[in-house]
A = this chain, B = another copy of it.
Amino acid sequence: MTKADGAQRRERKSDKTRRRILDAAADLLNRKGFDGTRVSEIATLAELRVPAVYYYFDSREAILEEVVNIGDRLAHDNVVRRLNELPPDASALDRICAAFAAHLEMVLTESAYTAAAMRTMGQLPADMRARQLERQRASGRMWRELIQAGVEAGEVDPELDPRAARMFLLGAVNWATEWWNPARGSLEEILATAQRLVRNALAGPLARSATAATPRAALSPVFIPPP
Protein backbone atom coordinates (compact mmCIF):
# COMPACT_ATOMS: atom_id res chain seq x y z
CA MET A 1 0.00 0.00 0.00
CA THR A 2 1.50 3.36 -1.02
CA LYS A 3 1.52 6.30 1.35
CA ALA A 4 -0.92 8.13 -0.91
CA ASP A 5 -3.26 5.18 -0.70
CA GLY A 6 -3.14 5.22 3.06
CA ALA A 7 -3.94 8.91 3.21
CA GLN A 8 -6.88 8.69 0.83
CA ARG A 9 -8.40 5.32 1.60
CA ARG A 10 -8.53 5.36 5.36
CA GLU A 11 -10.16 8.63 6.19
CA ARG A 12 -9.17 9.88 9.62
CA LYS A 13 -11.91 10.13 12.19
CA SER A 14 -11.53 13.88 12.07
CA ASP A 15 -12.13 13.90 8.32
CA LYS A 16 -15.15 11.70 8.77
CA THR A 17 -16.72 14.09 11.24
CA ARG A 18 -16.01 17.01 8.97
CA ARG A 19 -17.68 15.13 6.18
CA ARG A 20 -20.76 14.36 8.29
CA ILE A 21 -21.13 18.09 8.90
CA LEU A 22 -20.92 18.87 5.20
CA ASP A 23 -23.36 16.09 4.33
CA ALA A 24 -25.84 17.44 6.86
CA ALA A 25 -25.44 20.97 5.53
CA ALA A 26 -25.97 19.84 1.94
CA ASP A 27 -29.13 18.01 2.93
CA LEU A 28 -30.50 21.01 4.80
CA LEU A 29 -29.60 23.44 2.03
CA ASN A 30 -31.80 21.41 -0.31
CA ARG A 31 -34.74 21.28 2.08
CA LYS A 32 -34.59 24.70 3.72
CA GLY A 33 -32.61 27.00 1.45
CA PHE A 34 -29.63 29.15 2.38
CA ASP A 35 -31.18 31.27 5.09
CA GLY A 36 -33.20 28.37 6.48
CA THR A 37 -30.16 26.22 7.18
CA ARG A 38 -29.33 26.51 10.91
CA VAL A 39 -26.08 25.51 12.52
CA SER A 40 -28.05 23.85 15.30
CA GLU A 41 -29.82 21.62 12.79
CA ILE A 42 -26.58 20.80 11.04
CA ALA A 43 -25.15 19.76 14.40
CA THR A 44 -28.16 17.58 15.22
CA LEU A 45 -28.07 15.83 11.85
CA ALA A 46 -24.33 15.27 12.22
CA GLU A 47 -24.87 13.92 15.75
CA LEU A 48 -22.85 16.65 17.40
CA ARG A 49 -23.36 19.74 19.55
CA VAL A 50 -22.99 23.19 18.04
CA PRO A 51 -19.50 23.98 19.43
CA ALA A 52 -18.10 20.83 17.83
CA VAL A 53 -19.20 22.20 14.47
CA TYR A 54 -17.27 25.39 15.14
CA TYR A 55 -14.19 23.32 15.85
CA TYR A 56 -14.20 22.32 12.17
CA PHE A 57 -15.47 25.51 10.55
CA ASP A 58 -14.97 29.18 11.27
CA SER A 59 -18.56 30.17 10.63
CA ARG A 60 -21.93 29.07 9.34
CA GLU A 61 -21.18 30.68 5.98
CA ALA A 62 -17.88 28.83 5.70
CA ILE A 63 -19.73 25.51 5.91
CA LEU A 64 -22.30 26.50 3.32
CA GLU A 65 -19.72 27.92 0.94
CA GLU A 66 -17.73 24.70 1.05
CA VAL A 67 -20.87 22.71 0.24
CA VAL A 68 -21.63 24.92 -2.74
CA ASN A 69 -18.03 24.78 -3.88
CA ILE A 70 -17.93 20.97 -3.75
CA GLY A 71 -21.32 20.75 -5.47
CA ASP A 72 -20.24 22.89 -8.40
CA ARG A 73 -17.00 20.95 -8.78
CA LEU A 74 -18.69 17.54 -8.66
CA ALA A 75 -21.10 18.58 -11.41
CA HIS A 76 -18.35 19.97 -13.60
CA ASP A 77 -16.03 17.00 -13.13
CA ASN A 78 -18.78 14.49 -13.84
CA VAL A 79 -19.76 16.23 -17.07
CA VAL A 80 -16.13 16.31 -18.21
CA ARG A 81 -15.63 12.65 -17.32
CA ARG A 82 -18.73 11.55 -19.20
CA LEU A 83 -17.72 13.56 -22.25
CA ASN A 84 -14.35 11.82 -22.21
CA GLU A 85 -16.07 8.45 -22.12
CA LEU A 86 -17.88 9.12 -25.38
CA PRO A 87 -16.63 7.40 -28.53
CA PRO A 88 -14.47 9.69 -30.65
CA ASP A 89 -17.07 9.80 -33.42
CA ALA A 90 -19.85 11.14 -31.19
CA SER A 91 -21.68 14.00 -32.85
CA ALA A 92 -21.87 17.49 -31.38
CA LEU A 93 -25.46 16.78 -30.37
CA ASP A 94 -24.45 13.48 -28.79
CA ARG A 95 -21.96 15.38 -26.66
CA ILE A 96 -24.52 17.98 -25.62
CA CYS A 97 -27.05 15.34 -24.59
CA ALA A 98 -24.45 13.40 -22.64
CA ALA A 99 -23.43 16.58 -20.84
CA PHE A 100 -26.97 17.46 -19.77
CA ALA A 101 -27.62 13.87 -18.69
CA ALA A 102 -24.43 13.85 -16.62
CA HIS A 103 -25.42 17.10 -14.94
CA LEU A 104 -28.97 15.93 -14.26
CA GLU A 105 -27.73 12.68 -12.79
CA MET A 106 -25.48 14.52 -10.36
CA VAL A 107 -28.33 16.82 -9.35
CA LEU A 108 -30.78 13.99 -8.80
CA THR A 109 -28.90 11.22 -7.09
CA GLU A 110 -25.17 11.27 -6.86
CA SER A 111 -24.73 14.53 -5.08
CA ALA A 112 -26.89 16.45 -2.63
CA TYR A 113 -24.01 18.91 -2.87
CA THR A 114 -24.67 19.68 -6.53
CA ALA A 115 -28.41 20.01 -6.00
CA ALA A 116 -27.73 22.37 -3.11
CA ALA A 117 -25.31 24.44 -5.18
CA MET A 118 -27.83 24.81 -8.00
CA ARG A 119 -30.86 25.54 -5.87
CA THR A 120 -29.29 28.14 -3.62
CA MET A 121 -27.52 30.10 -6.35
CA GLY A 122 -29.89 33.04 -6.20
CA GLN A 123 -29.89 33.18 -2.40
CA LEU A 124 -26.18 33.46 -1.71
CA PRO A 125 -24.86 36.62 -0.06
CA ALA A 126 -23.14 38.95 -2.49
CA ASP A 127 -19.55 38.03 -1.65
CA MET A 128 -20.15 34.27 -1.77
CA ARG A 129 -22.06 34.67 -5.02
CA ALA A 130 -19.16 36.58 -6.56
CA ARG A 131 -16.69 33.88 -5.61
CA GLN A 132 -19.02 31.19 -6.97
CA LEU A 133 -19.36 32.99 -10.29
CA GLU A 134 -15.59 33.21 -10.48
CA ARG A 135 -15.24 29.47 -9.89
CA GLN A 136 -17.99 28.67 -12.40
CA ARG A 137 -16.16 30.40 -15.22
CA ALA A 138 -14.67 27.22 -16.63
CA SER A 139 -18.02 25.43 -16.51
CA GLY A 140 -19.72 28.33 -18.25
CA ARG A 141 -17.15 28.27 -21.02
CA MET A 142 -17.50 24.50 -21.39
CA TRP A 143 -21.27 24.71 -21.84
CA ARG A 144 -20.97 27.60 -24.25
CA GLU A 145 -18.48 25.73 -26.39
CA LEU A 146 -20.57 22.55 -26.39
CA ILE A 147 -23.57 24.38 -27.82
CA GLN A 148 -21.44 26.45 -30.15
CA ALA A 149 -19.93 23.27 -31.61
CA GLY A 150 -23.44 22.03 -32.28
CA VAL A 151 -24.35 25.23 -34.08
CA GLU A 152 -21.20 25.11 -36.21
CA ALA A 153 -21.80 21.47 -37.07
CA GLY A 154 -25.25 22.42 -38.31
CA GLU A 155 -26.85 20.14 -35.74
CA VAL A 156 -28.50 22.87 -33.66
CA ASP A 157 -31.49 24.89 -34.82
CA PRO A 158 -29.92 28.16 -35.98
CA GLU A 159 -33.01 30.14 -35.00
CA LEU A 160 -32.35 29.50 -31.31
CA ASP A 161 -30.45 32.02 -29.22
CA PRO A 162 -27.59 29.79 -27.96
CA ARG A 163 -27.27 31.42 -24.55
CA ALA A 164 -31.00 31.41 -23.81
CA ALA A 165 -31.35 27.83 -25.02
CA ARG A 166 -28.47 26.71 -22.82
CA MET A 167 -29.86 28.45 -19.74
CA PHE A 168 -33.40 27.19 -20.29
CA LEU A 169 -32.17 23.61 -20.54
CA LEU A 170 -29.90 23.91 -17.52
CA GLY A 171 -32.88 25.31 -15.65
CA ALA A 172 -34.97 22.34 -16.70
CA VAL A 173 -32.49 19.89 -15.21
CA ASN A 174 -31.69 21.97 -12.11
CA TRP A 175 -35.38 22.27 -11.30
CA ALA A 176 -35.88 18.51 -11.51
CA THR A 177 -35.15 18.03 -7.79
CA GLU A 178 -38.42 19.83 -7.10
CA TRP A 179 -40.57 17.17 -8.67
CA TRP A 180 -38.64 14.00 -9.43
CA ASN A 181 -39.71 11.06 -7.33
CA PRO A 182 -37.74 7.81 -7.72
CA ALA A 183 -40.92 5.91 -6.81
CA ARG A 184 -42.64 7.18 -9.96
CA GLY A 185 -39.90 6.25 -12.41
CA SER A 186 -36.32 5.06 -12.44
CA LEU A 187 -33.28 7.23 -12.87
CA GLU A 188 -32.66 5.62 -16.24
CA GLU A 189 -36.10 6.63 -17.44
CA ILE A 190 -35.79 10.23 -16.38
CA LEU A 191 -32.33 10.52 -17.94
CA ALA A 192 -33.63 9.04 -21.18
CA THR A 193 -36.51 11.50 -21.26
CA ALA A 194 -34.16 14.38 -20.55
CA GLN A 195 -31.82 13.37 -23.36
CA ARG A 196 -34.69 13.00 -25.78
CA LEU A 197 -36.09 16.39 -24.78
CA VAL A 198 -32.73 18.16 -25.07
CA ARG A 199 -32.04 16.58 -28.44
CA ASN A 200 -35.44 17.53 -29.78
CA ALA A 201 -35.24 21.05 -28.35
CA LEU A 202 -31.88 21.86 -29.88
CA ALA A 203 -32.16 20.01 -33.18
CA GLY A 204 -35.65 21.25 -33.95
CA PRO A 205 -36.72 20.89 -37.56
CA LEU A 206 -33.20 19.73 -38.40
CA ALA A 207 -34.00 16.37 -36.79
CA ARG A 208 -35.56 14.96 -39.92
CA SER A 209 -33.89 11.58 -40.02
CA ALA A 210 -35.08 8.99 -37.56
CA THR A 211 -31.55 8.20 -36.42
CA ALA A 212 -30.81 11.79 -35.52
CA ALA A 213 -33.28 11.67 -32.65
CA THR A 214 -32.28 8.25 -31.35
CA PRO A 215 -29.09 8.08 -29.31
CA ARG A 216 -26.98 5.02 -29.89
CA ALA A 217 -26.36 2.32 -27.34
CA ALA A 218 -22.94 3.77 -26.65
CA LEU A 219 -24.61 6.77 -25.05
CA SER A 220 -26.13 4.85 -22.19
CA PRO A 221 -27.52 7.21 -19.59
CA VAL A 222 -26.60 4.88 -16.76
CA PHE A 223 -24.08 6.26 -14.36
CA ILE A 224 -21.26 3.96 -13.28
CA PRO A 225 -19.72 5.31 -10.08
CA PRO A 226 -15.94 5.03 -9.70
CA PRO A 227 -14.69 2.18 -7.46
Contact = CB atoms under 8 A, between A and B. Distances in A.
Interface of A: 30-36, 119, 121-123, 157, 159-161, 163-165, 167-180, 184-185, 189-190, 193-194, 196-205, 207-210, 212-213
A202 B200 contact: yes
| Main SS class of interface, A | helix
Contact of A194 (B36, B168, B198): B168
26 contacts: A30-B122, A31-B123, A33-B33, A33-B35, A34-B36, A35-B35, A36-B123, A119-B122, A121-B178, A122-B177, A159-B196, A160-B193, A164-B190, A168-B172, A168-B175, A168-B194, A171-B173, A196-B204, A199-B204, A200-B203, A200-B204, A201-B201, A204-B207, A204-B213, A205-B213, A207-B207
Contact of A197 (B160, B212, B213): B160
A163 B190 CA distance: 10
Contacts of A34: 33, 36
Nearest to A121: B178
B185 A176 contact: no
A212 B201 contact: no
Given A122-B177, A171-B173, A205-B207, 14 more contacts: A33-B34, A161-B189, A161-B193, A164-B194, A164-B197, A168-B172, A168-B173, A168-B194, A169-B197, A171-B176, A174-B175, A196-B204, A199-B204, A200-B202
Q: Which 5 A-B pairs have CB atoms at the shortest separation, nearest pair first?
A: A171-B175, A35-B36, A201-B201, A200-B204, A172-B172
A203 B190 CA distance: 18
Contacts of A173: 168, 171
Nearest to A210: B205
A170 B173 CA distance: 11
A174 B171 contact: yes
A30 B175 CA distance: 16
Nearest to A204: B200
